[in-house]
Amino acid sequence: MPDKKEITIYDIARELNISAATVSRGLQDNPVINKNTRRKIIETAHELGYRSNTFASSLRSKKTNTLGVIVPRVNSYFVASVLAGMEDVANKEGYNLIISQSLENAAKEVANAHTMFNNRVDGLLVSLAYDTENIDHLKPFFKKHIPVVFFDRTYPHNESTSIIIDNFKAAYDITKHLLDEGYRRIMHLAGYMLRTVYAERLRGYKEALKYYQIAFDEKLVYVSKLSEESGTAAAEQILGMKVKERPDAVFSANDTAAVFCMIRLKAAGIKIPGDIAFAGFNNDPISKVVEPNLTTVNYSGYNIGEAAVRVLINHLNGVSSTQHTNTVVLRSDLIIRESSLKK
């Protein structure tokens, strides 16, 4: 039978013939304990298979030094960049991250939030799923005054902070660029309007059309999950149109849908940008691989992740002096590439 006995500080103390109090301080790297003694304590702890009881200590301190993160999906360049920024700041500040994904499903997001709450995270960072209609599942956090920070896909709440870019302006600028190039029948591949990020990109697109006195055409808006499949389906819709009714440009609310729409259209003999110009959003690596390279909006997921964790830790440290809604707007830039330029 394997030995199931949990190793304690008393076992380490007995092995080294020192007090349990000295072992406890040594494991906490307390400078009161001699450096060599600390080293011996840590080495012996490893040899014996000691595991610190972080749960018990967190109950005593009422802190777990963990931050919960809920993202729509981890298999995206943008989210991976966000998580990298979060990890860097969190680790430097002595925090660990518990990361979960909703897989674009509101019910799974609710379950993830409950798990985070039950794991006693000190704070929560959330980017909402496509179909999340409300944030009732976050009420336990607000009730316990556990800070919540939204990033990218946000939800207005008077006890939270949102980290975003100016999606309206970015979409306005990219649509205006297409209009300045001479395109007049611009299709928009949009995300679900439940998410402010996509509603604002649609609003920016519509405002640019209005500035050029071009009537908004609902038939030129294709709403989807902006996935690879969505991009291909949008291309099929375009190919199903009469030639004179087809758009002369497409502005997609992300790069993925734009690229897969381009691929399908090119396979059908459509010239890009000769027949239809393209612009995306996010500056994913795929935007520089597709031929022609994709015009897009660049904003740093890494910076968003950094900013989100800094705001959360500042709040935990009492640096934030207000409970009112606070929005942090980070920079974005239009990157013009061959896919939208007239020959």
The model's pLDDT over 286-315, given as tens digits with 9 standing for 90+, comes to: 999 999 999 999 999 999 999 999 999 999
State the Cα–Cα distance between residues 198 and 274, nearest whole angstrom.
Answer: 28
Q: What is the DSSP letter of 5?
A: P
pLDDT given for residue 62 in this prediction: 63
Q: Counting beta carbons within 10 angstroms of the beta carbon of residue 76, is it exposed (0 to 12), middle (13 to 18) or buried (19 or more)?
A: middle
pLDDT given for residue 8 in this prediction: 86
State the Cα–Cα distance between residues 60 and 211, nearest whole angstrom.
Answer: 60
Summarize the confidence of residues 5-13 as an average pLDDT: 85
Given a cut of 50, is residue 234 above it in pLDDT?
yes
State the Cα–Cα distance between residues 282 and 306, nearest whole angstrom.
Answer: 17
Q: In the structure, what pLDDT confidence band is assigned to residue 57 with cuts at 50, 70 and 90?
A: low
Pairing of strands 333-335, 296-298: antiparallel
For residue 96, give every residue at least 6 positions away whose Cβ sits within 8 Å of its Cβ, in sequence order, or none.
Answer: 65, 66, 67, 90
Q: What is the DSSP letter of 218?
A: G
Fold of 167-299+334-340: Rossmann fold (3.40.50)
Question: pLDDT tens digits, residue range 180-230?
Answer: 999 999 999 999 999 999 999 999 999 999 999 999 999 999 999 999 999
State the Cα–Cα distance between residues 26 and 34, nearest whole angstrom.
Answer: 8
Q: What does the DSSP assignment read for 254-319? A: SHHHHHHHHHHHHHTT--TTTT-EEE-SB--THHHHSSSPPBEEE--HHHHHHHHHHHHHHHHTT-
Residue 333 and residue 300 in contact, taking contact as beta carbons nearer than 8 Å:
no
Q: In the structure, what pLDDT confidence band is assigned to residue 322 with cuts at 50, 70 and 90?
A: very low
Q: Counting beta carbons within 10 angstroms of the beta carbon of residue 116, is it exposed (0 to 12), middle (13 to 18) or buried (19 or more)?
A: buried
Residue 94 and residue 75 in contact, taking contact as beta carbons nearer than 8 Å:
no
What average pLDDT is seen over the chain?
A: 91
State the Cα–Cα distance between residues 85 and 102, nearest whole angstrom.
Answer: 20
Question: pLDDT tens digits, residue range 111-124?
Answer: 999 999 988 899 99
Residue 278 and residue 258 in contact, taking contact as beta carbons nearer than 8 Å:
yes
CATH number of 66-165+301-330: 3.40.50.2300
Given a cut of 70, is residue 155 above it in pLDDT?
yes
Given a cut of 90, is residue 59 above it in pLDDT?
no
- Residue 342 phi/psi, 5-degree rounding, is -75, 135
How many residues comprise the chain?
A: 343
Q: What percent of the chain has pLDDT over 70?
A: 94
When mean pLDDT is compared over 16-25, 44-53, 61-70, the highest value belongs to 16-25
Looking at the chain, the domain(s) classified CATH 3.40.50.2300 span 66-165+301-330, 167-299+334-340
Summarize the confidence of residues 53-58 as an average pLDDT: 53
pLDDT given for residue 45 in this prediction: 87
Q: Is 235 left (phi over 0), alpha (psi -120 to 50) or beta?
A: alpha
Tell me the residue type at 8: T
pLDDT given for residue 84 in this prediction: 97
pLDDT given for residue 54 in this prediction: 54
Given a cut of 70, is residue 77 above it in pLDDT?
yes
* Gyration radius of the chain's alpha carbons: 26
**Strand partners for 277:** 249
Of 101, 103, 110, which is closest to residue 83 (Cα–Cα)? 101
Looking at the chain, the domain(s) classified CATH 1.10.260.40 span 9-52
Q: In the structure, what pLDDT confidence band is assigned to residue 26 with cuts at 50, 70 and 90?
A: confident
Higher pLDDT, 247 or 26: 247
Summarize the confidence of residues 5-24 as an average pLDDT: 87
Of 188, 157, 158, 159, which is closest to residue 171 (Cα–Cα)? 188
Given a cut of 80, is residue 51 above it in pLDDT?
no
- Residue 186 phi/psi, 5-degree rounding, is -100, 125
Q: Which of the listed CATH numbers 3.40.50.620, 1.10.357.10, 3.40.47.10, 1.10.260.40 matches domain 9-52?
A: 1.10.260.40
Q: Give the predicted TM-score (pTM) of the model.
A: 0.80
Q: Which two tokens stand for residue 192?
A: 């679900």
Given a cut of 70, is residue 71 above it in pLDDT?
yes
Q: In the structure, what pLDDT confidence band is assigned to residue 1 with cuts at 50, 70 and 90?
A: very low
